[in-house]
Structure formats: structure tokens, C-alpha cells
Structure 1
């Protein structure tokens, strides 16, 4: 960000509520390290999610399930150091909160205290509603997540849209309402038909952030590596590429390799010189040996 540009006002939950009330879309993006945090900060997004999708986009796992709490904390701390204005949401990884309220609180406290998160995110309805209520009662702001929940995608039949029948849509809506009643401050709705989102949003007082859930949501979130074309894996139907940085990066490294192998790089302008006369003195000193 230019030194001549005044820093943005710190985003708050109240500011997001005002955006929802005014019909002003909320912009959320994932980030997983310090450089990506600096980029989304400079781009002026409202909310940054350190998603457990980092398991695949950054750490090379086949799904979100294997990523550990310590790995997520390391990434989240790096993102925190690159942010100033956006709200920071930390994704609690699979296995770090489901077993009990006590486990959920202990894990979430680490994300707040150690990584500087403003909120934590947990997936699903059901027993997760109890975890959300316990976290809120412990003073920890929570983001819920319904629809396609990647941590339990196997149980949902894989990475596929949810809520495509009236009964299934009602289940998504019921989960969302339960999470709001538990005290969640925000809700992510993933991979559901736009009709479901349109029916859900008026029922909720909290901001609804969609990902593959249509334009009716109060805001949108995309994965950093997906929207910039950095991830080599297959992209979901709802992903729009706003750049093709992976292609550009490969081309850049290929050009570098060609120049190194051809003796073109480094050129004289890429190096340093000794102070005048010192190279001669060095040769004299070596000769004395």
C-alpha cells in the first residue's frame, strides 16, 4: 500500500451488520501466509478467512481433514502479521472441536490468544450448534458454516451441492437458524442452490457469506489460490478465475532457468564490486600465502 494512502478503518462486526442492513456486499477472501495477507489487505477486502482449505492449497494434503491445529495456527499467525483492517477468521480444523465443549473452547482460545483471530469458524449444524453456543458463552465470536461442509464431505456424498430438494434445503435452513440462535456472528453457506440462499437470508439477522450459493447472499468468499489461478487442483463450478498466476509463475521460473543455463543471468548489473584497489590487494594477499 502506498505511503500516501491513509490506512483503512478497522472492520468490525458492527460494520458488517451495517453493510448487510444497507445491502452493501461483504467481501471475504482466504489467505494462508504473510504475502497473501498483504495482498488481500492492499486489495481492501472486508474479511479474511484462514481456511482449512490450506490443507490442499498450501500443504499438499488430499483433503482438509489431515491438517492439524498447530499447522493452522502457524498459518494464521503469519496472516495476522500481514493484516491491519480486515476481520480475521480462523478455521478450526477437523477433530479440534467436535468431541466436547471443553475441547472446542480450548482450541478456539488458542486461535484468539496465539494467532490474534477476531472470530473462529466451525462447520455443520447438529452437535456443532452446541459447540457454537459454548464458544459464544465463553466470549469467543463464531462463524457458522452450512451446506457443503468439506470436513464431513464424505458423509455428504462427496464435494457436491447440498439442499437441492425442498427437504434438504429445509435442513440447511434449520441448521443456519440454529447456529444463529446459538449466537453465531456470521454464517458461511457453501454450494447450495441460489433459491435456498434467497429463502435463508431474510430469515437471518447475521451476515450470510456465500461460496457457490448465488448472488443473494450478503457477501461472497473465494479461495485465494482459486480466484488467482494458483492452485493446480480442479476448481469448483462456482470459482471464477480473476488471474492466471500459476501460468505466469511457471513461465517466469522457466525464463530464469533458461538464462542461468545460457550464462545470461547474472549479468554484471546484478552483482557487487569491491572498493577500488581492493581486488588488487586481495590478489597480493593470496599470492603471499
Structure 2
């Protein structure tokens, strides 16, 4: 991987896995960057915290048997941080393209949600749809003077890829302009208060995915702060883990081209959010059908 001189391996790997890169199905990497965070910075520490807790939780799922010790997971480490977000977006795009050429599934740990933009843009011709689990729409035209931030990335994607089907699940923090933009641009959404109607949520996801392979993005603040207090922008009345995990297994059976878990901020709790994020990754990996 000499072409990826901006990638630095960590002393701790996800699940403690030591699968050689050539034998891996999943390629994990972190983006420890949070310079556009608007409220509580600290998600730059997220990737390392998620790795740490992944090695210290029971890596199994009662939804489907999963043995993390035998999982074909390679941890490539973290992208070396440059203060310029455009440089970071380029590095994410370059790494995602590289992993795709190896015919492996990229798994991104964040870090702020902005970098989902670079990953989706890189894979736009390979994904059928974008499924986002998030407390927020992230559809603002700009935020704090920037058009590239955690609050704007999805708007940029919808503008650049107007035919890409998009669904946002668990949303509960938004303004009127974002709702109008979503409806005008056919962005499907499920409010957190509507998650109890599980069959309806599954119908929406099925319609958006439409038999293809989606990109799945999980902002950890989709969960209620009771479960995930360690986030940059907490919103009450969020989702519970069981509901989200069931939905992730539903979309995971479609073999997502890539997935990410973003916005983990270990600066604001004792580790429960990082543990939950590690479980999200584990559940998604477990959900993939065997080849």
C-alpha cells in the first residue's frame, strides 16, 4: 500500500483481528477529524475509542451467529490528519477507491460525518442508494460559513447526484428549510417518532434500496442520548439499539457496498457510546450474507 502514505496503522486493531489484508473481506479505517464540529468537538478521538471497545465487548449477535475471531476483517489504521478539509476529503476518496479496487468492503470510522460525502461520491456508480441513520438531516446549504461540514454533506450529495435514492432514518433535529429541501428532492425520511411502525419503515427501505446494493451510513447520534451520550450534537427522543440493529440487519442482507459509523465522541462519556458504535459495526458485518 505504498500509494497510501497518508494511512497510519494503530497499535490496536478492530476486534483485535490480524487478518492479512489480502485475505480480508472488510477493510476498516478511521478518519480522526472534527474541525467543522459546531458544538462539542471530540469525534477525532472516535476511531481509536471504537477500536479499544471492540476488543473488550462480546463480539456476537443473537440475530445471526457471528464469530469475530474468525471474521475476515483487516484494520488499515487511520488517515493522517491534515487541517485542510479538502485534503482530507481527497484522502478518503483515494482510500475508498483503492479498497474498492481490491474488491473489499470499506468500513469507515469517524470522525465527523462530512467524510461520508467523499466516500459516497467515490462509489456513486456502484451503489443503488444511500441509507442514513441520523438524528439530523444534514441538508443545510451552509453552516457557520462553510458548505462542507457535518451539517451540509448530505445536501451536497443530493445536489450532485439527484437521481441517487436517499433515505434518512431516525431524524428528529431539523429546520423547516431542510424539510422542504428533502421533500422537493424526494429524500425519503423516517422520523424517530415513526420507528415504532416497523413494517412501514421496512417498506420505505425496500423501496429505496430497490434490490440493489446500498451505502449505509450511521451517525451514532441516531440513538437516544441515554444510549449514546458521547456525540457532538445530542438530540432527545432518539432510537433504541434493538430497533436500529434490526433495521441494520435488514439492510445488511443487501450486502452494502460500504458502510460507516460516524460522530463518536468519547470526550463526553465513560465509553458507552464507543462500545455501542463497536456493536453497530459488528452487527453490520454479521448481517452480510455469506458468499
TM-score, with normalisation over the residues of structure 2? 0.33
Greater RCO, CA 8 A, separation 6+: 2
Structure with max Cα Rg: 1
Which structure's residues are more often helix, by fraction?
Answer: 1
